[in-house]
């Protein structure tokens, strides 16, 4: 039961920890991650959300309000990190929705999770880029975006998925 599990508090606490870790990682490894012209963007918060959906489907005995927490994470991300309100508040829940949709077709395990996460990061970065173009935050061309941002970001985040999938599963099982 979700109401009685430790996840009720554990999920949002780790969600915010991941959100703040994203910024810390970007700051501490900025010489490697933002080595011009390429940029790797860390999305640990999305990893936590997507893993939540995957393990929720795995357990299939309770529903977590992951979508609602995604909105909250999106608000904090927009206000604290970018200062431009209205981008990630919609993209984070959309990613959760897409993951739920895919999980209903594919039985989630490590490999299919990797594929789903690939799609999620692509959608997230592409929509973020389009929004950035729309409000003139970025002037990067589409091909530059694919080569310099999307490619390295996917590589970094998929590596993170591979490294953190089993630790996160352990954390979920412990919190459950």
Three-point CA angle 135, 136, 138, nearest 5°: 120
What does the binding site for other proteins look like in residue numbers (CB under 8 A)? 16-17, 20-31, 34-37, 39, 41-43, 76, 79-87, 89-90, 128-129, 131-132, 134-140, 148-149, 153
- Closer residue to other proteins in complex, CB, 72/112: 72
- Closer residue to other proteins in complex, CB, 19/53: 19
160-167, Cβ contacts within 8 angstroms, sequence gap of 24 or more: 160/42, 160/44, 160/47, 161/47, 161/113, 161/114, 161/117, 162/114, 164/44, 164/47, 165/51, 165/110, 165/113, 165/114
CB 2 to other proteins: min, Å: 25
* Residues comprising the chain, all counted: 176
- Closer residue to other proteins in complex, CB, 20/64: 20
Tokens encoding 62: 């309770």
- Closer residue to other proteins in complex, CB, 79/115: 79
CB 172 to other proteins: min, Å: 21
CB 155 to other proteins: min, Å: 13
């Amino acid at each position: 039961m979700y109401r009685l599990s430790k996840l009720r508090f554990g999920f949002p606490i780790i969600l915010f920890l991941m959100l703040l870790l994203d910024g810390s990682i970007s700051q501490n490894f900025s010489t490697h991650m933002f080595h011009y012209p390429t940029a790797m963007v860390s999305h640990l918060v999305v990893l936590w959300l997507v893993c939540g959906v995957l393990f929720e489907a795995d357990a299939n005995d309770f529903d977590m309000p992951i979508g609602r927490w995604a909105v909250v994470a999106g608000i904090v991300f927009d206000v604290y990190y970018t200062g431009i309100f209205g981008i990630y508040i919609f993209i984070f829940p959309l990613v959760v929705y897409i993951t739920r949709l895919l999980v209903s077709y594919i039985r989630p395990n490590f490999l299919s999770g990797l594929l789903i996460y690939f799609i999620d990061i692509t959608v997230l970065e592409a929509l973020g880029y389009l929004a950035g173009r729309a409000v003139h935050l970025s002037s990067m061309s589409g091909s530059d975006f694919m080569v310099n941002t999307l490619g390295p970001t996917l590589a970094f985040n998929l590596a993170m998925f591979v490294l953190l999938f089993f630790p996160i599963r352990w954390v979920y099982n412990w919190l459950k």
